[in-house]
Structure 1
Amino acid sequence: MLLRVILHSAVSLDGRIDGFPVDLQQYYELANTWKEDATLAGSDTFLKAASEAPPEDESAFLPPRADPNDRRPILALPDSRGRIRTWHYLRSLPYWRGFLALCSRSTPEEHLSYLKERHIDIIIAGEDHVNLRAALLELYSRYGIKVVRVDAGGTLNGLLLSQVLVSELSVLVYPCLAGASQECGKGGSGIFVAPGQLAAPKSEGESEAIPLKFMAAEKLIGEVIWLRSEVKSREDF
């Protein structure tokens, strides 16, 4: 196995990933379990936070300072359409040591130039959309990334799961019911939004559910249940 991909999420008892309060300190303390080399996050999360970003100044164009002793992870964002324009703000946050845009061959040249001018590393994988498998392999071969933690919504989670790229599923189940959402099944409020049939063809009568193997369960402060499962169908890559 070249690298491990861990999907870490907090959900309500009815499977929502929003609409209820989450203990973020607990969430990120547990996320530190894996000592990730890279955080793979969904671009929608950072688009929603764009209003918090201050205007760019000259520091946005300065190259990052390399520190071989910095053990913080790299932040990788899939952004084939070139929508993320707040890299200067992300660089000011203390959580990551480096930043990487995952793009495709359809990403506008203007946006690629924007990234290069700001010293944001780029991986180009895929034609219209980011080829996640190819991008993960590039993370391993170019940067030596061996552990990736996914911090995303249902769409990116679903793409990774359906392409059999996830090694482990870590779920914090909160003792509440968040209720149905108009967005459920349309892209974001469930832990896993299936983008179609799974990568492997199914024989007639066979379930398309993703099989999991139990690893551990633990009751935490706040009546939260921490479930960890191995994704049985995951192929080595």
Structure 2
Amino acid sequence: MAAAPPERPRVVLTTLAGVDGRITLRRDQVLLEPSVGERWRAAWPDDVEGLLARRDAWVEEHHAPTATLEGSGTFVVDGTSSPWAQVGGPWDHPDHLPRRAPHWFVVVDGRGRVDWRFTGDDTTALLVLVSRATPPGYLARLRKLGVGWLVCGDERVDLAVAVRRLGGELGVRCVRADGGGGINGALVRAGLVDELHVVTMPVLVGGLGTPTFLDGEPLAPDGVPVRLRVVSVERGAEGSTWTHYELDGA
């Protein structure tokens, strides 16, 4: 298996989707809402949990990722504004790392939209990726909660910078990207994804605008699709599949 470029950690993207690529029920709902998550899981065929468990065990055995990367869209719906947008003085907030842990739960939240309840435990530290445009009041909120952040960009979070910094400054050698279509699409467009593990289940959601596992910016007018190499395919008893891909050049 090809190694990741030495200047950054390997990025392994994992997802669960219906055959139409949808990863949730509607754009205005998040799976963390109990009623939404229950309806989503009710559609899972019986073979999905086993495939997910085997996929996760494979990723852990072969790469042992020490950072899990998510986007803020996992936690808040589109259109959510920062409650701290008007709070705080001049922007003067360098990196803040109040604690370290064996594993990092890393979330891109340059707009400062997530009001955190989980901030970590004995083995995992929450880390937020922000930019110099992030509301100062949000950073003050993170500091009060004991949550760290890395500044990775000016107007928005630069994912290439962020991934390199996770490796260079925190010692992360593999990042598992397990977020939604926005951050997944941004990682692919930036050329940061090395391999992809997709569990596809025989379920249809449909709906114009319903999130897929690869959204974000459209392909450039002169762009070409990203080529994938199929490494392996495992099929479950109910027709769900776990497909392991590598990206060309990875």
Corresponding residue for 1:128?
155
Aligned mate of 2:20, from 2, 11, 14:
14
- Of 174, 195, 208, 1:182 maps to 208
Alignment-derived partner of residue 171 in structure 2: 144
Question: Aligned equivalents of 2:236 and 2:172: distance in 1?
Answer: 30
Q: Are 1:84 and 2:110 counterparts?
A: no
Give 1:30 shift.
2.2
Contact in 2 for aligned 1:211/1:233 (Cα 8 Å): no
Give 1:25 deviation, angstroms.
6.5
2:233 to 211, 217, 230: 217
Q: Hey, what does 1:58 align to over in structure 2?
A: none
Aligned Cα root-mean-square deviation (Å): 2.4
Structure 2 distance, partners of 1:217, 1:9, is 15
Q: Is the 8 A contact 1:164 1:233 kept in 2?
A: no
1:195 aligns with: 217
- Give runs of ≥4 in structure 1 deviating > 6 Å: none
Query: Cα–Cα, structure 1 residues 31 and 90, in superposed 2: closer, same or farther, change >3 Å?
Result: farther
Distance 1:28 1:102 in 2: 28
Offset of 1:117 from its aligned partner? 2.3
Q: CA deviation at 1:164?
A: 0.7
Q: Which runs of 5+ in 1 are unaligned?
A: 49-62
1:89 match: secondary structure: coil
Percent identity among equivalent residues?
26
Residue in structure 2 matching 1:171, options 179, 198, 220: 198
Structure 1: distance between partners of 2:120 and 2:237: 33
TM-score, scaled relative to structure 1: 0.76
Equivalent pairs, count: 201
Following superposition, the deviation at residue 197 of structure 1 comes to: 3.4
User: C-alpha separation between the residues in 2 aligned to 1:149 and 1:212?
Assistant: 18
Tell me if structure 2 keeps the 8 A contact 1:212–1:229. Answer: yes
Q: Does 1:27 align with 2:52?
A: yes
| Runs (5+) with no aligned partner, structure 2 | 26-39, 78-97
- Structure 2: which amino acid aligns with 1:146? R
C-alpha displacement of 1:170: 0.6
